Structures are given as C-alpha cells and as structure tokens.
Amino acid sequence: MKKTDNQALVIFGASGDLTERKLIPSVFNLFCGGFLPENYAVVGVSRSVYTDEEYRQKVVFENEHLKNKKAATPEKLKAFAELVFYQSVNTKEISAYSALKERLDQLDKQKSCANNYIFYLATPPSLYQTIAKGLADSGLNNQENGWSRLIVEKPFGYDLDSAKKLNKDLLSNFVEEQIYRIDHYLGKETVQNMFVTRFANSIFEPLWNRNYIHRIEVTAAEHVGVEKRGGYYDSSGALRDMIQNHLLQLVALVAMEPPVKSDAESIRNEKLKVFQSLRPYTESDVKKNVIRGQYSNSTVRGESVDGYREEDDVNAESKTETYVAMKFFIDNWRWAGVPFYIRTGKRMPTRVTEVVIHFKPNHHHLFAHDSTLANQQNVLVIRIQPNEGILLKFDMKIPGAGFNTEQVNMDFKYDELTNVYVPDAYERLILDCMQGDATLYARGDSTEAAWEFIDPILKAWEADQNIPVYGYPAGTWGPENADNLIEGKNMNWRYPCSNLADDGIYCEL
Ligand code: NDP
Ligand code: BG6
C-alpha cells in the first residue's frame, strides 16, 4: 500500500450538497477502512456560521448519507467527528484567507498535519479562480514546508474559452502537478477495469481496432430528472454536464493506445492523443450527427412525472437539452472509419452506463440461412453501473440436426466476487490525491482538447436556433431520431436493462 502523509483536507463549499452527500461520507469510509494517516483533519469552509460542534452535528451526526453506513456505530461517528473542524469564510474577501491561514497554522500545531493540505473546491465554479488566488496570496500554495494540492470540481469551464481561462488562472497560482481536476467517473471501479480488461488480457487487444470492430457505443442513461439542481442544469445541459467530461473520458479509455507504463503521465499522454484525434464537427455535421432532446411530462411506472420545463428553477420556455446522442469518428491509425455512438439522457427508462463493442460479422457466413443472422455480430458489453460486469455475446450451435445457431451470453458480474469491498468513486479519488497520484484525474491539456471537440456543437446550436430540440416523454429512450444515427441494416442502439444480460426496448426494468 502507498504511504499516506499526515495531512488536512480543507473543503470550500462545506455547507453544500456535495460535501454532505459525497465528500464527508467518502472520508468517513476512508476513516473506517483505516486509510487515513495517523494525524488528519477535515476543515470545512463556507460563509454560513457554525461552531466546530454545530458543523459536526450537521455533517457527521445528522448526515443521512453517513448514518446509513453499516460502519456508522456511535463510537465510530464520535471518533470521526473529532477530526472535523469548521471556519466561516467569505472567499470573495481578501482578508478571509489570512484568517484561514491562521486557523490552519493553529490546527497544524494541535494536530501535527505536517503542513500538508488538500484544498477541495466544492463551491459555485465562479469562485474557483478567486479561491486559488486567495490561497496563493496567503502562501497556502507553498510547498517548501509540506505540500499543497488543489482538487477542482466540475464543471471545468463552460466552453473552450472559459476552460482555457480557468486553466491559465489556476496555473498562475499553482503548478500543474498540484492541480487535480476531478471527474468522478474515473473513480468508478468498473471504469478502471476497462483499462485492465484491455491491457491485461491477450485475447482482446489484437482485435481492438478497425479491422475487427464495426462500431462502439457508449450509453449513460439516468432514470432521475434534474432533481434539485434545475438552476445549475438549465444553464448547462447534457452536453456540458455529461458528454464533455464523463462520456469523453470513457471514450478515451476505450480508444487509447497502450501506455508505455501504468503511471499517471503515460496514461494521461495516451488519453490526450485520443482527444486530439476526434474529428471536429462542421456546422452541417452537427445538424446531422448530434441529436438533442428534452423530456416532457409523462406517466412512468404508474406515477405522473413532470416535464423538464416544469421542474423547479427551470425556465418555462427552456431549450436546454436533457438528452444528447451523437456519432463521431476518431481519425487515427487504429480507429479510421469506425463510428463511435454515444448518448446520455435524464428520465430514461432505467439507470445504466455501459460501453458496447460491436465486432464485425464473419466474412463468410457458413451457418447463416437468412440475412438477419448473416449480420449477427459478437458483442462485448462493459457494464459500468448497475449490475457491474462484462458480457460477451457469441454464437452457439442449437443442439439437434443441422447447423442452426443462436446467440448466447457469457457474463461475469462483480457481485459474484463476494467479500470484496468496492469503494465509492469519490473515496478512491480522494485517497489517490492524498497519496499524490493523479492518474485518475484529468490533466489541463486534455480538458481543453475535450472542449475543443465540444465547442463547435455549442456554437452551431447557438448560431442556428432551428436545430431541433426533440421532445421525448419521460421514461422513454429519448427521441426516435437518434436511431437514425446508426446506419446499417438491422442495427440499432443496444437498449440495456438493469440486468446486464437483458436488453430490448420492452424488457423488464
Ligand atoms: P451548493 O450550492 O449546495 O453548495 C455551494 C457551497 O459553496 C455552499 O457550501 C456555500 O456555502 C459555498 N459558497 C458559496 N459562495 C461562497 C463564498 N462566497 N464564500 C465561501 N463559500 C461560498 O452546491 P453543490 O454542493 O451542489 O456543488 C458544489 C460544486 O460541486 C459545484 O461546482 C458543482 O457544480 C459541483 N458538483 C456538484 C455535484 C452534486 O451532486 N452536488 C456533482 C458534481 C459536481 P455558504 O452559502 O454557506 O457560503
Ligand atoms: C454528475 C452530473 O456529474 O454526474 C449529474 O452533474 C449526473 O447531472 C451525475 O446525475 C451522474 O453520476 P452517476 O455516478 O450517478 O452516474
């Protein structure tokens, strides 16, 4: 196990939703798992006024997301709460940072955290630059006497220009090695397993190219709507919220070349090359190859569900997309001519994220007696969530006379590995940052390269208001037009069910 230095985690945005729902529970899990160093502290920072004790009540003792954990015994909660502190700060005020520094110095003496700090930015993104500058001006970026790391939450920019500006501003106060841009998809165990599936098995890599792969699909469907985040979502939309980051990260892991080593820089260099090879869209490509949609009210499993425009904090005439499906190409030696299809949407029939590799059919159809079977392809499904696992579809002989074939499933599911604890994505990522490992964080150059691919789509939508936003009833698979993206006889998206081995539009959810 890697060594974890004594240190403190300073969370900006400490009274917010992310801190309560994800960050504190993840640190608690690390505490219960024995992953925290001997000397450790969490310091919450936001404008709201709490004493240390009041803040501990809020985020530890009364936190529903923490209380439901099996390990949350009263003794464990009490011991954990003693590591948690709070400092009220308005990060827009310059004087606030010297007060914060004073408090951190004092805690450092008390807790011996060795002057090592992670500053986690979980505030509205408009404050990221201000906080980084405030920290630097008060010397909290200094690494002479300990280290200083900055975790930056998504969204990383709103478009290419703002992402470039954010990178530039952060880099004028911290060096790249100090900056950890979080994408929680990379913390998912099954996403990391994609890397292992490809590069630890000799059977897949020889086939992993244009000679054997017909097309690749990535789906990230959510059953929920925008929940309480209508205000944020309405100025973001699915393209910025899911595609620019999470889905393109999945594409990079599927499409990258084998890295020379499994270290952060080698892996991140290869991922960058994928982003740089994405074929840029022209305005007419956008019209043809990018489908956007928005959910409308409907009845889902007997319950009436609001349409997007009826959600709290959403403009009643909003044209923000809650669904995007797109087709694109990666112009490099390995992927020339192989279409990639990716889609994401809220209020889909079920929650599922998966990568589907469709292999080319046989060149000579020895056993196929009709044209449907002749098109039959081997399919490898890498299920990210739920029912995590891997499924391979291949042909078998139907017992009896003749050579009739049928496609069967061979699958492996993670939950078959009993007694293996699968950490939450945030838990894994926070621990990596604590240990100085940036492999699963996005590097500045690749974040910009991903925006470079997305920006023309945003621009095309802005320039041509006539590009349709198709409505789709909540609880369905999105606009039917998305089916037309996949050209080819008898070919369509895989319509996954929550159970890995099942598929089809009408399967049980
Ligand atoms: P919230 O609105 O719930 O929380 C925002 C936090 O920022 C609050 O603690 C607020 O506290 C603090 N804050 C706002 N202004 C200031 C200021 N001037 N000085 C100091 N603190 C300030 O947002 P979320 O927790 O939902 O999101 C936080 C970030 O994480 C956002 O960038 C979001 O995009 C990102 N994110 C959130 C996810 C989620 O599921 N919630 C998922 C992925 C990313 P106070 O008002 O007390 O100052
Ligand atoms: C977040 C998006 O980054 O990812 C949300 O802002 C989305 O809109 C969420 O719901 C999905 O994450 P997961 O882990 O539930 O697939």
- Closest residue by Cα to atom 12, ligand 1, is 13
Query: What is the mean predicted confidence (pLDDT) over 432-447?
Result: 96
Which residue has the CA at smallest separation from atom 9 of ligand 2?
Answer: 242
State if residue 154 touches ligand 1 by the CB under 6 angstroms criterion: yes
Q: Cα–Cα distances in Å, from 144 out to 99, 107, 148, 174, 245? A: 21, 19, 10, 13, 33
Is the pLDDT at 486 greater than 60, yes or no?
Answer: yes
CATH number of 7-153: 3.40.50.720
Can you tell me the distance from the alpha carbon of 178 to that of 164, in angstroms, rounded to the nearest whole number?
17
Q: Give the span between the Cα atoms of 367 and 198, in whole angstroms.
A: 30
Q: What is d(CA 192, CA 422) in angstroms, rounded to the nearest whole number?
A: 12
Nearest residue (by CA) to ligand 2, atom 10, is 222
Digit-coded pLDDT (tens) for 318-372: 999 999 999 999 999 999 999 999 999 999 999 999 999 999 988 887 776 655 5
Q: Model pTM?
A: 0.94
User: Would you state the pLDDT for residue 2?
Assistant: 77
Q: How do residues 414-425 score in pLDDT, each as one tens digit?
A: 877 767 777 889
Establish whether residue 153 lines the binding site of ligand 2, counting it when its CB lies within 6 angstroms of any ligand atom. Answer: no
Q: Tell me which of 65, 246, 358, 369 is the catalytic residue.
A: 246
Cβ 51 vs Cβ 87: under 8 Å = no
The rounded Å distance from CA 156 to ligand 2 centre is 15
What does the pLDDT average to over 114-127? 96
Residue 505 has pLDDT above 70, yes or no: no
Q: Which of 10, 11, 12, 17 to mutate to test the pocket of ligand 1 (most atoms within 8 A of CB)?
A: 17
Residues of the chain with pLDDT > 90: what percent? 79
Q: Report CA 509 to chain centroid distance, whole Å.
A: 23
Average pLDDT of the chain is 93
246 CA from centroid of ligand 2 (Å) = 9
Query: Taking the C-alpha atoms of 395, 400, 403 and 406 in order, what is their torsion angle to the nearest 10 degrees?
Result: -20
Asked whether residue 506 carries a pLDDT value surpassing 70, the answer given is no
Domain ranges of the chain: 7-153, 186-485
245 against 364, higher pLDDT: 245
As given in the structure block, the two tokens for residue 322 are 């809650």
Q: Which of 184-193, 242-251, 432-441 is the least confident region? A: 184-193
pLDDT tens-digit series, residues 279-315: 999 999 999 999 999 999 999 888 999 999 999 999 9
Summarize pLDDT for 47-85 with one digit per residue, the tens: 999 999 999 999 999 999 987 778 889 999 999 999 999
**Ligand 1 mean position, distance from CA 91 (Å):** 12
363 is catalytic: no
Residue 277 CA, ligand 2 centroid: distance in Å: 26
* 235 pocket-lining for ligand 1 (C-beta < 6 Å): no
Residue listed under structure tokens 């002989």 = 397
CATH of 186-485, one of 2.40.50.140, 3.30.360.10, 1.10.150.120, 1.10.240.10: 3.30.360.10
State if residue 241 touches ligand 2 by the CB under 6 angstroms criterion.
Answer: yes
